[in-house]
């Protein structure tokens, strides 16, 4: 069996799986889609105007408008950033309030399949509607301003919070619940000591993660008049007030980094338990 | 031929890996290095192909001073020295054949490497190596689906594909059960006898070392305390090598 | 420090040993959270009474159904644009992330300075909200899909880059060392020994990014960065809600298809 005739080797060589055709096919398909998609890129070249703007934004970042920064009144940067932050927090909260019960209804280990899939479909539909549509829908209801932003963010978050939370529910260790059953626990006790300790850390983690993303979205909702820093940013840009733009961008950067640092520290602590 | 001339290695944190090692190993010898953990067995072997660098002294492999090699030259040199590791070091999700063909990569250009375009000759040489260690039939199976002993054989096949004259092995059978370990040691012996390759291996299993190697080198605290034929190894020598210091 | 203010309770066990039970900090966390929420409500002037008017919301929603089916042929081109935008930008982002991730993985490239600079670039790219980037891009590159592509590209690049280098750093370096012992250069060694180990995660992440990008691209149109957001915004302004409904339905169907295909591919890779 060892060190035998060459013919055995040639035989083995011929046995090799001829996967290359399959890979070539995949490659061609990808290439085709890529070429098709490049048609969307109309590069007009960075016009002189555009290059000027880029330069201006750059200078604006390095010479931010200090009157904005140090203005601690309602029109100042700090207030607007805090407002953006607040919209993010409340939005996440609203999202959680609606998403959590729906998630329980969509978990296949808790409810019959048909119900779970129905709710999941509804969740997917909710998730597809962009946040600014929600904002536009809510403005007539709650008026212009931050409240609309909160509701819009809230609804947009439902999708992702629900998706992650459903996963967490389905990962539940039912063994613990069974053991409690065997020990004679009441339903309330089972939930309080069996289910919640498993789910809550996951929930907090999900919410923090979502908060992170909502903050970024909150920034832009201002564009639809939903409060926060979006509107001033947009005005500053269309008014070519580059130092203001710079100040706002810097402030936004600081806010997001700050929240991210805190949230990742909290998430680490949650993971360690 | 491998020649150590007053080789010492001191680690950056001050630990002495090797102290004043003098050795000559001729082509075709089967040498086993024994000693306690941390004595310097691994360090010694890894100096031969430059995975560890030498702090002082000179190390010649067939007239090339390994201690002076760097970068591209070092890589070119390494093609002529095969190495087997304790944990086989195969790429798990890749087939056995491909793992063996990695020995041919230094001659291929980057593009071919990225897309895994090995030539027919590459495949034939690799299949031949697999045949030499008796696992030709496993060529197209994913490496992580093999047993430990089989994986070590794949790694032997890879080293054989290098067509190097020297084979280094760092604890090659430590992760295997006794029966499989003997099978792999049998492979080493065959390769040594049929292909006249120099075998330099580390092993902490003394009986296997005495049974297979013709020459034993015992290392203690970075120094060579015995270097001679395996038949002349006495119980006293072994006690001295493995004795725990106060 | 907390323990100094609220001294732990001392419990004496039957064996005579004394064990300290720290006072639970949970309630103070709750207080902090409630304060934050309260402040947020103040800052946003949240109008709770408005919730009673939520009937209006459902009414508006209802006006979107039944959707204006005939509007579909107007929807298709921008929809395809959106898909193209996401695909192209995701692909570019995914491809370019690879060399940068390699450079910043501290087990492959050991130069701390290089590692640090690239990580900083990744962080910067990730931090700015995509919409803000898109907005800026429309000013620099003009309105239209190119700005959208730029924005999505930057986000995908940093997202995949971060995931990738984190995975690379956790990979088993044994095969890499074996490749080096074979005389293979570090770059080639990366491709034969490390990349096969990270490939499933890489593809999975790239698909996930693409999925998200398609959804996001729909929004980008709102700031004028091309795609379906454009006509969406347009129809909303015209109060043509039936058409809005049509657009949303199209987006929904597209997203569903892409998500299922992507899930299928991801199952095959794992």
Structural domain for C18, as ranges: 2-46
Q: pTM for this structure?
A: 0.79
CB contact under 8 Å between C56 and A140, yes or no, is yes
Is residue B246 within 8 Å of B240, Cβ to Cβ? no
Q: How far is the C-alpha of A236 from the C-alpha of A246, rounded, in Å? A: 10
Transcribe A248-264 into DSSP letters. Answer: HHHHHHHHHHHHHHHHH
Q: How far is the C-alpha of B65 from the C-alpha of B81, rounded, in Å? A: 14
Is residue B60 within 8 Å of B48, Cβ to Cβ? no
Q: Please check the confidence at residue A153 and state whether its pLDDT lies above 70.
A: yes
| Secondary structure in 3-state letters for chain B | CEEEEEEEEECCCCCEEEEEEEEEECCCCEEEEECCCCCCHHHHHHHHCCCCCCCEEEEEECCEEHHHCCHHHHHHHHCCEEEECCCCCCCCCCEHHHHHHHHHHHHCCHHHHHHCCCCHHHHHHHHHHHHHCCCHHHCCCEHHHCCHHHHHHHHHHHHHHCCCCEEEECCCCCCCCHHHHHHHHHHHHHHHHHHCCEEEEECCCHHHHHHHCCEEEEEECCEEEEEEEHHHCCHHHHHHHHCCCC
Q: Please check the confidence at residue C132 and state whether its pLDDT lies above 60.
A: yes
Is residue B52 within 8 Å of B46, Cβ to Cβ? yes
Given phi > 0 = left and psi -120 to 50 = alpha, else beta, which region is A124? alpha
Q: How confident is the model at residue A1 (pLDDT cuts 50, 70, 90)?
A: very low
Total tally of structural domains belonging to chain C:
2
Is residue A102 within 8 Å of A159, Cβ to Cβ? no
Q: Which of B101, B138, B131 is nearest to B117 (CA)?
A: B101
Summarize pLDDT for A201-258 with one digit per residue, the tens. Answer: 778 777 877 777 777 777 767 666 666 677 777 777 777 777 777 777 887 788 888 8
Q: Which of C250, C216, C254 is nearest to C235 (CA)?
A: C250
CB contact C32 to A (< 8 Å): no
Q: Please check the confidence at residue A42 and state whether its pLDDT lies above 70.
A: no
Q: Is C35 within a domain?
A: yes
Mean pLDDT to the nearest integer, A86-95: 82
| Superfamily for the B1-80+200-246 domain | P-loop containing nucleotide triphosphate hydrolases (3.40.50.300)
Residues of chain B positioned with their CB less than 8 A from the CB of C188:
105-106, 108, 110, 113
Q: Is C209 within a domain?
A: yes
C27 and C85 both lie in a single domain: no
C117 and C16 both lie in a single domain: no
Summarize pLDDT for B63-110 with one digit per residue, the tens. Answer: 888 888 888 888 889 988 999 998 889 998 889 999 999 999 988 888
Q: How far is the first Cα of chain B from the last one, in angstroms, to the nearest whole number?
A: 38
Partner residues linked to B30 by β-bridges: B199
In angstroms, how far is CA C123 from the centroid of its own chain?
13
Range among A217-231, B8-22, C17-31, C91-105 with highest mean pLDDT value: C91-105
Q: What pLDDT does B31 receive? A: 92
Subunits with 3+ Cβ pairs within 8 Å of B are A, C
Is residue C94 within 8 Å of C209, Cβ to Cβ? yes
Q: Please check the confidence at residue A31 and state whether its pLDDT lies above 80.
A: yes
Of C46, C140, C215, the CB nearest to A146: C46
Q: What mean pLDDT is reported for chain A? A: 76
Q: Is C224 within a domain?
A: yes
Q: Please check the confidence at residue A71 and state whether its pLDDT lies above 90.
A: no
C110 and C19 both lie in a single domain: no
Of A86, A136, A256, the CB nearest to C127: A256
CB contact under 8 Å between B140 and A16, yes or no, is yes
In a mutational test of the A interface, the residue from C33, C41, C44 whose CB has the highest number of chain A CBs within 10 Å is C44
| Superfamily for the A62-272 domain | MetI-like (1.10.3720.10)
C157 and C212 both lie in a single domain: yes
Widest Cα–Cα separation across chain B: 59
C179 and C138 both lie in a single domain: yes
Summarize pLDDT for C155-182 with one digit per residue, the tens. Answer: 899 989 988 888 888 888 889 999 989 8
- Tokens 């038949």 identify what position? B231
Q: Please check the confidence at residue A273 and state whether its pLDDT lies above 60.
A: no
CB contact under 8 Å between C222 and A223, yes or no, is yes
Is pLDDT larger for residue A241 or for residue A27? A27
Q: How far is the C-alpha of B64 from the C-alpha of B45, rounded, in Å? A: 16
Q: What mean pLDDT is reported for chain B? A: 88
Q: How confident is the model at residue B30 (pLDDT cuts 50, 70, 90)?
A: very high
Q: What pLDDT does A222 receive? A: 67
């Amino acid at each position: 069996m060892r060190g035998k005739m060459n013919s055995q080797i040639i035989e083995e060589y011929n046995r090799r799986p001829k996967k290359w055709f399959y890979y070539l096919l995949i490659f061609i398909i990808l290439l085709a889609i890529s070429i098709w998609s490049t048609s969307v890129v109309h590069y007009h070249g960075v016009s002189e105007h555009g290059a000027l703007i880029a330069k201006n934004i750059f200078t604006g970042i390095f010479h931010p408008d200090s009157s904005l920064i140090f203005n601690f009144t309602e029109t100042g940067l700090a207030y607007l950033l805090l407002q953006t932050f607040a919209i993010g927090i409340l939005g996440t909260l609203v999202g959680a309030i609606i998403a959590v019960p729906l998630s329980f209804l969509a978990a296949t280990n808790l409810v019959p399949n048909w119900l779970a899939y129905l709710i999941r479909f509804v969740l997917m539909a909710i998730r597809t509607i962009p946040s600014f549509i929600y904002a536009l829908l809510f403005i007539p209801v709650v008026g212009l301003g931050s409240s609309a932003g909160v509701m819009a963010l809230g609804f947009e978050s439902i999708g992702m919070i629900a998706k992650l939370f459903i996963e967490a529910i389905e990962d539940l260790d039912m063994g613990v619940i069974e053991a409690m059953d065997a020990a004679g626990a009441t339903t309330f006790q089972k939930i309080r000591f069996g289910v919640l300790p498993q789910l809550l850390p996951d929930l907090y983690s999900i919410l923090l993660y979502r908060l992170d993303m909502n903050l970024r979205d909150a920034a832009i909702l201002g564009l639809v008049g939903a409060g926060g820093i979006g509107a001033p940013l947009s005005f500053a840009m269309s008014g070519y007030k580059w130092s203001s733009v710079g100040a706002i961008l810097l402030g936004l950067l600081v806010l997001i980094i700050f929240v991210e640092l805190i949230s990742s520290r909290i998430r680490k602590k949650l993971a360690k338990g | 031929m491998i020649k150590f001339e007053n080789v010492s290695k001191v680690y950056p944190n001050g630990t002495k890996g090797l102290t004043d090692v003098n050795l000559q190993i001729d082509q075709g010898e089967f040498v086993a290095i024994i000693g306690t953990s941390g004595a310097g067995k691994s360090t010694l072997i890894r100096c031969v192909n430059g995975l560890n660098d030498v702090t002082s002294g000179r190390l010649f492999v067939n007239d090339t001073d390994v201690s002076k090699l760097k970068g591209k030259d070092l890589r070119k040199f390494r093609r002529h020295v095969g190495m087997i590791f304790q944990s086989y070091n195969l790429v798990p999700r890749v087939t056995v054949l491909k793992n063996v063909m990695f020995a041919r990569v230094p001659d291929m250009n980057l593009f071919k490497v990225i897309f895994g375009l090995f030539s027919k000759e590459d495949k034939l040489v690799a299949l031949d190596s697999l045949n030499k260690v008796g696992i030709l039939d496993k060529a197209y199976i994913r490496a992580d689906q093999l047993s430990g002993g089989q994986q070590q054989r794949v790694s032997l096949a890879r080293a054989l594909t290098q067509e190097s004259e020297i084979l280094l092995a760092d604890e090659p059978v430590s992760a295997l059960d006794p029966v499989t370990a003997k099978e792999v040691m049998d492979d080493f012996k065959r390769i040594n006898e049929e292909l006249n390759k120099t075998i330099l291996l580390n092993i902490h299993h003394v009986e296997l070392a005495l049974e297979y190697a013709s020459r034993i080198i015992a290392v203690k605290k970075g120094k060579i305390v015995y270097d001679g034929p395996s038949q002349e190894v006495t119980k006293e020598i072994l006690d001295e090598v493995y004795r725990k210091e106060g | 420090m907390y323990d100094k203010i609220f001294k732990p309770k001392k419990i004496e066990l039957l064996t005579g040993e004394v064990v300290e039970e720290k006072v639970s900090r949970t309630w103070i966390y709750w207080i902090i959270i409630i304060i934050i929420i309260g402040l947020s409500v103040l800052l946003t002037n949240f109008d709770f009474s408005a919730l009673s008017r939520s009937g209006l919301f459902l009414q508006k929603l209802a006006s979107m159904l039944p959707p204006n089916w005939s509007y579909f042929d107007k929807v298709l081109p921008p929809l395809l644009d959106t898909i193209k935008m996401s695909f192209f930008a995701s692909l570019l982002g995914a491809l370019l992330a690879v060399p940068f991730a390699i450079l910043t993985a501290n087990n492959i490239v050991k130069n701390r300075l290089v590692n640090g600079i690239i990580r900083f670039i990744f962080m910067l790219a990730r931090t700015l909200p995509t919409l803000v980037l898109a907005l800026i891009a429309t000013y620099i590159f003009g309105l239209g899909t190119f700005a959208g592509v730029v924005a999505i590209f930057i986000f995908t690049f940093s997202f995949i880059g971060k995931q990738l280098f984190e995975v690379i750093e956790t990979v088993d370096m044994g095969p890499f060392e074996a490749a080096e012992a074979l005389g293979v250069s570090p770059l080639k060694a990366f491709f034969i020994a490390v990349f096969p180990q990270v490939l499933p995660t890489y593809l999975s992440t790239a698909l996930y990014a693409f999925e998200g990008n398609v959804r996001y691209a729909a929004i980008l149109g709102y700031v004028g960065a091309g795609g379906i957001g454009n006509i969406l915004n347009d129809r909303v302004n015209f109060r043509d809600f039936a058409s809005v409904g049509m657009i949303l339905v199209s987006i929904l169907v597209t997203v569903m298809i892409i998500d299922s295909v992507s899930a299928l591919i991801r199952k095959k890779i794992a």
